[in-house]
Amino acid sequence: MKKINFYLLTILIIFGFCSKVSAQDFEDWLSNFKNYALQKGISENTINNVMNNVKYLPDVIKYDRYQPEFYENTKTYINKRSSKEKEIIGKKIYKDNFDLINKVSKEFNVDKELLLSLMGIETNFGKYLGKMDIISSLSTLSYDKRRSEFFTNELIKILKLIDDGVIDHKTLYGSWAGAFGNFQFMPSTIMNYAIDYNNDKQINLKSYEDSFASAANYINKLGWNPDEPCFLRVDLLDTTPQYLLNSSAKKISNKKKFKEIKKYIKNADNIIFNENLMVGIITPDKEIVENPDPFNPAFITFQNYELILKWNRSLRFGLAVCTLKDKFKNAL
Residue 149 has pLDDT above 50, yes or no: yes
Residue 327 has pLDDT above 70, yes or no: yes
pLDDT score at 18 = 47
CA angle 235, 240, 242 (to 5 degrees): 115
pLDDT score at 20 = 60
User: Does residue 191 contact residue 160 with C-beta atoms inside 8 Å?
Assistant: yes
- pLDDT: which is higher, 248 or 9: 248
The DSSP line for 167-178 is: S-GGG-EE-TTS
Task: Name which of 23-32, 253-262, 288-297 the model is least confident about.
Answer: 288-297
Confidence of residue 67 (pLDDT cuts 50, 70, 90): low
Task: Name which of 99-108, 173-182, 254-263, 285-294 the model is least confident about.
Answer: 285-294
Task: Name which of 64-68, 109-113, 175-179, 273-277 the model is least confident about.
Answer: 64-68
Long-range contacts of 306-310 (CB under 8 A, 24+ apart): 306/252, 306/280, 307/219, 307/222, 307/223, 307/224, 308/230, 309/249, 309/252, 310/222
Q: Would you say the pTM of this structure is higher than 0.85?
A: yes
User: Does residue 105 contact residue 112 with C-beta atoms inside 8 Å?
Assistant: yes
- pLDDT: which is higher, 295 or 222: 222
Please enumerate in sequence order all residues whose Cβ is within 8 A of that of 317, keeping only pairs 6 or more positions apart, or say none. 69, 121, 308, 309, 311
Residue 168 has pLDDT above 70, yes or no: yes
Please enumerate in sequence order all residues whose Cβ is within 8 A of that of 24, keeping only pairs 6 or more positions apart, or say none. none
The CATH code of the domain at 3-66+131-180 is 1.10.8.350
Per-domain residue ranges of the chain: 3-66+131-180, 73-129+194-226+316-332, 231-301
pLDDT score at 70 = 57
Residue 72 has pLDDT above 90, yes or no: no
pLDDT tens figures, 231-250: 999 999 999 999 999 999 99
Residue 15 has pLDDT above 70, yes or no: no
pLDDT score at 259 = 94
Confidence of residue 24 (pLDDT cuts 50, 70, 90): confident
The phi-psi region of residue 168 (left if phi > 0; otherwise alpha if psi is between -120 and 50; otherwise beta) is beta
Residues 225 and 97: their CA atoms lie apart, in Å, by 23
Over range 215-222, report the average pLDDT.
97
- pLDDT: which is higher, 257 or 7: 257
Average pLDDT, the chain: 90
Amino acid making up residue 202: Q
Residue 21 has pLDDT above 90, yes or no: no
Confidence of residue 71 (pLDDT cuts 50, 70, 90): low
Residue 2 has pLDDT above 80, yes or no: no
Over range 38-61, report the average pLDDT.
95
Confidence of residue 73 (pLDDT cuts 50, 70, 90): confident
Over range 89-93, report the average pLDDT.
97
Percent of the chain with pLDDT over 90: 79
- pLDDT: which is higher, 293 or 100: 100
Residue 68 has pLDDT above 60, yes or no: no
